[in-house]
A and B are shown apart, each in its own frame.
Chain A
Amino acid sequence: GQNIDQPTEMTATEGAIVQINCTYQTSGFNGLFWYQQHAGEAPTFLSYNVLDGLEEKGRFSSFLSRSKGYSYLLLKELQMKDSASYLCAVLLRSNDYKLSFGAGTTVTVRA
C-alpha cells in the first residue's frame, strides 16, 4: 500500500507564509501533485513535480525530494481566499498510473 501523510490543519495570518509538508512511502513513484479544494467544491490542480527541486508559480511553490519521499507546498502572501484544503497526491507506476491522495490539510487564513 501507499502511505501519504500531511498535517490535518494549519492556521496562518493574512499576508504570511505557510508551508504544508507531505511525506510518502511508495514504490514506483512517477510524480507528485498538489490540489486545492474549497469546501464542497471540486479539487483543482495547483502543481506537479516529477524531478527534485522547487517549482514556482506565482504565490505558490512546490518542492520535491524523491530520495527523502518528501514534498512541500509553500503559500506566500496569504489571502483570505486561500482558506481551503490542500491535497497531496502521488502518481504510481505500481498503482497502474493512478493517483493516491493524502487526507488533505485544511488551511485557515485569519485577518
Chain B
Amino acid sequence: DADVTQTPRNRITKTGKRIMLECSQTKGHDRMYWYRQDPGLGLQLIYYSFDVKDINKGEISDGYSVSRQAQAKFSLSLESAIPNQTALYFCATSDPSGGGYTFGSGTRLTVV
C-alpha cells in the first residue's frame, strides 16, 4: 500500500458544485500539505497542517477549505468549483524537520 493515498485519482465536475479531495497517510507524520500544480507554474501551496489542531493558509487558499480529521487524514474542499481550479492536486506529508516530502499520486480535477 502507498504511504500517501489520494482519492479520487481523476474527477470531472461542473462549475458551482462542491467537491472534496481526500488524503490519508501511513507515515505517522504530523505535517501534511495540499498543493496544486499547473503547467509552467510548479507546485503552489494551498493549505498546510502541522498537527490535528493546526491549520494554516498557503499561497493560494482562496476558494478552498480543509479539514484535518485525524493525524492520518487531511481533506481539501472546493465549496463552489470554478474552471480555473482545473489542475493536478497533490497531498504530501513530511517529517518534523520539514523536508523530505512524500507525495500522494495526485488527483486530476477538471471543472467544466
| A interface with B by C-beta (< 8 Å) | 8, 30-31, 33, 35, 40-45, 48, 87, 91, 96-99, 101-104
Contacts and interface: CB of A to CB of B under 8 A. Distances in A.
24 contacts: A8-B40, A30-B98, A30-B99, A33-B101, A40-B106, A40-B108, A41-B106, A42-B104, A42-B106, A43-B101, A44-B103, A48-B99, A87-B43, A91-B97, A96-B98, A98-B98, A99-B98, A99-B99, A101-B42, A101-B43, A102-B42, A103-B40, A103-B41, A103-B42
Interface of B: 33, 40-43, 45, 48, 56, 88, 90, 94, 97-106, 108
A41 B108 CA distance: 10
Given A40-B88, A41-B106, A42-B90, A98 B45 contact: yes
A91 B105 CA distance: 22
Given A31-B99, A42-B103, A45-B101, A87 B45 contact: no
A41 B42 contact: no
Contacts of A102: 42
Interface of B is mostly: strand
A91 B98 contact: yes
Contacts, number: 53
Interface of A is mostly: strand
A30 B90 CA distance: 23
Contact of B99 (A40, A41, A43, A91): A91
Given A96-B56, A97-B99, 14 more contacts: A30-B99, A33-B100, A35-B101, A40-B88, A42-B103, A44-B103, A48-B100, A87-B42, A97-B98, A98-B45, A98-B98, A101-B43, A102-B42, A103-B41
